[in-house]
């Protein structure tokens, strides 16, 4: 385990806590740090894609490649900020914002028909054809009042997803 940076000082914890808008308790941050050090094999201070993929449960998740683009080479502060969307204390807005970011891979603030199709492709793999995916998406878009050409913004996402409670919480195990 042991490089000098293996121990978090109180100052470090408070800094990280502020960075994630107090969505995690100090104990949770310490737990997350232990986990971070476990994943960061050679104590470089950041976690590479390869190290994320060494967690089999993560590697077999259909969205792993998309998430890797967001977390590759992540340092501890950003690691906690990323996971803060999954805190029970996070707002719906925060969670929906993360979902939007997963769709909007080119970061232009708009999610097009093609963007959604790509995510659907990750989720359904070889079990749906491209035509089926297009058909499904066109149909639900039309019923929701959008068209194939419309690009969805974050506000649209909030309108669509904000209607019901989003269950996107992960508990941080605290010893």
Partner 1 sequence: MTSAGTLKTSRSELDLDRPNIEDYLPTGSSIQQEPRGKLRLHDLLDLSPTLSEAAGAIVDDSFTRCFKSNPPEPWNWNVYLFPLWCCGVVFRYLILFPARVLVLTIGWIIFLSSFIPVHFLLKGQDKLRRNLERSLVEMMCSFFVASWTGVVKYHGPRPSRRPKQVFVANHTSMIDFIILEQMTAFAVIMQKHPGWVGLLQSTILESVGCIWFNRSEAKDREIVTRKLREHVQGADNNPLLIFPEGTCVNNHYTVMFKKGAFELGCTVCPVAIKYNKIFVDAFWNSRKQSFTKHLLQLMTSWAVVCDVWYLEPQNLKPGETPIEFAERVRDIISHRAGLKKVPWDGYLKYSRPSPKHRERKQQNFAESMLRRLEEK
Query: Under the criterion CB under 8 A, does residue 80 sit at the interface with partner 1?
Result: no
Task: Please state, as a whole number, how many other Cβ atoms lie within 10 Å of the Cβ of residue 104.
Answer: 19
Residue 106 phi, psi (nearest 5): -95, 10
Whole-number Cα distances in Å, 47 to 39, 101, 174: 7, 20, 21
CB of 162 to partner 1, least distance (A): 9
Assess 53 for contact with partner 1 (CB under 8 A).
Answer: yes
Asked if 69 is part of the footprint of partner 1 (rule: CB under 8 A), the reply reads no
String marking each residue 116-145 x if it binds partner 1 according to CB under 8 A: x--xx--xxxxxx---x---xx-xxx-xx-
Q: Residue ranges of the alpha helices (H) in the chain?
A: 10-19, 26-39, 49-53, 56-59, 64-71, 76-83, 92-103, 113-124, 130-143, 154-161
Taking CB under 8 A as the binding criterion, the range among 6-14, 19-27, 114-122 that sits at the site for partner 1 is 114-122
Could you tell me how many residues of this chain bind partner 1 (CB under 8 A)? 59
* Interatomic CA distance for residues 13 and 30, integer angstroms: 8
Which residues here bind partner 1, judged by CB under 8 A?
A: 1, 32, 35, 38-39, 41, 52-64, 67, 71, 83, 86, 95, 98-99, 102-103, 116, 119-120, 123-128, 132, 136-137, 139-141, 143-144, 146, 157, 160-161, 163-164, 166-173
């Amino acid at each position: 385990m042991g490089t000098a940076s293996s121990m978090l000082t109180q100052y470090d914890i408070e800094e990280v806590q502020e960075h994630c808008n107090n969505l995690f308790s100090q104990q949770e941050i310490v737990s997350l740090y232990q986990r971070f050090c476990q994943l960061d094999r050679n104590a470089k201070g950041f976690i590479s894609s390869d190290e994320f993929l060494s967690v089999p449960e993560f590697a077999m998740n259909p969205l792993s490649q998309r998430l890797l683009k967001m977390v590759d080479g992540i340092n501890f502060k950003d690691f906690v900020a990323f996971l803060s969307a999954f805190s029970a204390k996070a707002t719906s807005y925060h969670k929906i914002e993360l979902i939007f970011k997963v769709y909007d891979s080119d970061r232009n603030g708009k999610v097009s028909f093609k963007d959604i199709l790509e995510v659907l492709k990750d989720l359904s793999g070889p079990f749906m054809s491209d035509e089926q995916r297009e058909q499904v998406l066109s149909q639900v878009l039309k019923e929701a009042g959008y068209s194939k050409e419309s690009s969805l913004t974050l506000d649209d996402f909030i309108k669509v997803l904000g209607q019901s409670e989003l269950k996107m919480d992960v508990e941080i195990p605290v010893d």
